[in-house]
Amino acid sequence: MKTLFVIAFTSVVINGALAQSFNLGPCPKVNTVENFDIERYSGLWYEYERSFLMIFELGGKCVTANYSANSDGTVNVVNSQISSITGSESSITGTARVDDEACNNTTCGKLIVTFPMPVIGEVDGTYWVLETDYTSYSVVWSCTDYKVIHASYAWVLTRDRNPSEAVVQQTTNLYANNNPEFILMTKTNQENC
C-alpha cells in the first residue's frame, strides 16, 4: 500500500494528476526505440496528452518537460506546469538514465527517472520511449510491477505546443500499434499559458 501511495503521490507531484491505470498481471512487453539518442531528445517538449485522469481538476495545464544532457551521461529533467486551480507555476527537477539492465547494455529507450520527494526521499519511475522522431513527437510509457497487478501511465509529448493534425494522427497510430493495453488518453490544456 505504501508503494501505491508513493506512486500516486509521485503522479500528483510530477504530472499534477492521479493518472495511473491499474491492470492485472505483470507489465506487458512493449517495444522501445533502439539506439536512443539522448542529445537529440534534449530540449523542450510540450505534453500533448496523457492517461485518463481519475481526478480531473487536479490536472495542471501548460505542462512541459525540458531535458538536457548532463556531463556524466544522465539527463536533467525539469517538469513544469501551471495549476488549473491556483494558476501558479510549479516545477520539479529530476534525473534520468538509461536502464542498462532492461536494455541489456545497449542504449535503448528504457530510462529510469528519479525525483527527489519531500519526506519520502528519492522516487524512481520507468520512462520508456516507445516511439520518437526527436523533432516532432514522443510516445512515452511507464509501468510499475506489483505482485499481481501493474500500474501503467502513458503520455504523448510534442515539440510544438499546438502540433499539426498530421503529427497528432501519427502519435495516435503509433500508440495504438505498440501499446498492448488500452489506456484512455486525455488532452492536456495548453491554452493561455
Q: List residues binding ligand NAG (CB under 6 A).
A: 44, 66, 68, 100-101, 104-105
CB atoms within 10 A of CB 49: 19
Closest contact distance (angstroms) between CB of 105 and ligand NAG is: 4
Decide whether 54 or 193 has the Cβ nearer to ligand NAG: 193
Closest contact distance (angstroms) between CB of 110 and ligand NAG is: 12
Decide whether 68 or 107 has the Cβ nearer to ligand NAG: 68
Decide whether 104 or 121 has the Cβ nearer to ligand NAG: 104
Distance of CA 76 to the CA centre of its chain: 14
Decide whether 40 or 184 has the Cβ nearer to ligand NAG: 40
Closest contact distance (angstroms) between CB of 158 and ligand NAG is: 15
Closest contact distance (angstroms) between CB of 71 and ligand NAG is: 13
Task: Give, for 41, the enclosing helix (H) or strand (E).
Answer: helix 38-41
Closest contact distance (angstroms) between CB of 149 and ligand NAG is: 25
Instruction: Name residues whose C-beta falls within 8 Å of residue 140's C-beta, 6 or more positions apart in sequence.
Output: 127, 128, 129, 130, 154, 155, 156, 157
Give me the residue label for grid cell 520518437: 132
Decide whether 20 or 79 has the Cβ nearer to ligand NAG: 79
| Cα–Cα distance, 8 to 144 (Å, whole number) | 12
1-6: long-range contacts, CB 8 A cutoff, minimum separation 24: 3/146, 4/146, 4/151, 6/117, 6/120, 6/123
What is the DSSP annotation of 92-126? Answer: EEEEEEE-TTTTTTS--SEEEEEEEETTTEEEEEE
Give me the residue label for grid cell 520507468: 126
CB atoms within 10 A of CB 154: 23
Closest contact distance (angstroms) between CB of 14 and ligand NAG is: 17
